[in-house]
């Protein structure tokens, strides 16, 4: 699959259809994408039927205050890590009415990268009902906009993957 060929609005619509059919709500926690995921989702008419809310937590302090990401995790792994993404996803669930969450944290550039975490490093976590978490790290190419666009697409694809591989029973 060529991620650059994927249309975020088509992916968001597919996410919405799956969430609605499963009776689930989604919450997002974004850092480097700065709300682009929430924007892609809310362009879909009727998204309020399956999208609860989104958190934009750009600073470490906001990650801690809004999502309860621990400072020890931030200090040990850095804001751009799958560990922080997982805590963001879990915190988003705890602070919403959703059953599934997605979190994105990364380095969109053009600056801010390092040898161990170059520009284009983006970490994700998807959590279903506080139990199942998928975590992934990617290294995207391109400028700031391209990195952020790819991150939004991967976030949406990850939601679909989580839902398709883990049937949910509402009780």
pLDDT digits over 54-92, tens only?
999 999 999 999 999 999 999 999 999 999 999 999 999
Closest CA to 27 of 89, 119, 112: 89
CATH of 3-164, one of 3.40.50.300, 3.30.565.10, 1.10.3720.10, 3.90.950.20: 3.90.950.20
Mean pLDDT (the chain, rounded): 94
Give mean pLDDT, residues 110-132: 93
Length of the chain: 171
- pTM score, two decimals? 0.94
pLDDT tens, 132-166?
789 999 999 999 999 999 999 999 999 999 998 87
Q: How confident is the model at residue 6 (pLDDT cuts 50, 70, 90)?
A: confident
Residue 100 scores a pLDDT above 90: yes
Q: What's the pLDDT at 4?
A: 64
Asked whether the predicted pLDDT for residue 9 surpasses 80, the reply is yes
Looking at residue 132, what is its pLDDT? Answer: 78
- Where do the structural domains in the chain lie, given as residue ranges? 3-164
Question: How would DSSP label each residue in 114-170?
Answer: -SSS-TTEEEEEEEETTTEEEEEEEE--SSHHHHHHHHHHHHHHHHHHHHHHS----
């Amino acid at each position: 699959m060529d991620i650059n060929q994927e249309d975020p609005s088509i992916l968001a619509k597919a996410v919405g259809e799956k969430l609605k059919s499963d009776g689930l709500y989604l919450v997002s926690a974004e850092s480097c994408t700065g709300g682009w995921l929430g924007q892609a989702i809310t362009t879909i008419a009727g998204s309020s039927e399956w999208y609860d809310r989104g958190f934009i937590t750009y600073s470490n302090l906001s990650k801690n205050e809004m999502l309860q990401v621990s400072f020890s995790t931030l200090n040990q792994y850095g804001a751009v890590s799958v560990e922080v993404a997982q805590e963001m996803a879990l915190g988003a669930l705890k602070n919403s009415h959703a059953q599934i969450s997605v979190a994105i944290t990364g380095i969109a550039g053009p600056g801010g990268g390092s040898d161990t975490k170059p520009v284009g490093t983006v970490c994700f976590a998807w959590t279903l009902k506080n139990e199942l978490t998928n975590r992934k790290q990617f290294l995207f190419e391109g400028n700031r906009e391209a990195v952020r666009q790819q991150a939004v697409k991967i976030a949406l694809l990850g939601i679909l993957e989580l839902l398709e591989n883990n049937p949910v029973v509402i009780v």
